[in-house]
Amino acid sequence: MTAISSVYETEPMYYEEQGWFLNCAIALETDIRPKEVLKRLRVIEEKLGRKPGPRYGPRVIDLDLLFYDDLVLSEPDLEIPHPRLAERAFVLAPLNEIRPDMVHPVLRKKVSELLGEVGSGKKVVRKPGPLDDFAPSVSPRRS
């Protein structure tokens, strides 16, 4: 793992009759191909108890592959970058914490710019982390 963001509590989008979500972003380095990464994410979701349900509805976990370097891929089962990333403050806020200068390979804008432009009106609140009282400069946390 190269970086992990703080956890953010966020209002639901699209399907609003549900509780708030917890979101974070993780940056990794891997030699695994994107489709295999996605397959492994789905296995993790299943092991953590994710069950089929309504799109955007309540779920135990939801893992998404947002970027894969500057790859642009559009296939029926996988789109990179994630197709709705630029409209989601709940994705952009944690991503901005760890990779503000990352450039979206299609939109040609930095993550920080996309976050500044997103206008969903949904609340995204950074949750205090266990190290905040001791070392506030640790964010973004890196390993």
**SS3 per-residue string spanning 14-66:** CCCCCCCEEECCEECCCCCCHHHHHHHHHHHHHHCCCCCCCCCCCCCCCCCCC
What are the residue boundaries of the structural domains of the chain, listed by start?
3-128
Give the other-Cβ count within 10 Å of 27's Cβ: 17
Assess contact for 90 and 23: CB atoms under 8 A. yes
Alpha carbons 51 and 47: distance in angstroms, whole number: 10
Check 33, 42, 64, 84 and give the catalytic one: 64
Give the class (CATH, top level) of 3-128: alpha beta
Check 31, 42, 55, 59 and give the catalytic one: 59
The yes-or-no answer on residue 142 being catalytic is: no
pTM above 0.95, yes or no: no
Strand 21-23: give its sheet, edge to edge. Answer: 21-23, 8-10, 124-126
Averaged pLDDT of the chain: 85
Check 33, 62, 84, 142 and give the catalytic one: 62
Bond before 81 cis per omega within 30 degrees: yes
Bond before 76 cis per omega within 30 degrees: no
pLDDT, tens digit (0-9, with 9 covering 90-100), for 2-52:
889 999 988 877 777 777 888 999 999 999 999 999 999 999 999 998 888
Where are any strands of DSSP class E within 87-138? 124-126
Check 33, 40, 42, 50 and give the catalytic one: 50
* Residue corresponding to tokens 């609003």: 16
pLDDT computed for residue 142 by the predictor: 41
The yes-or-no answer on residue 64 being catalytic is: yes
pLDDT computed for residue 83 by the predictor: 93
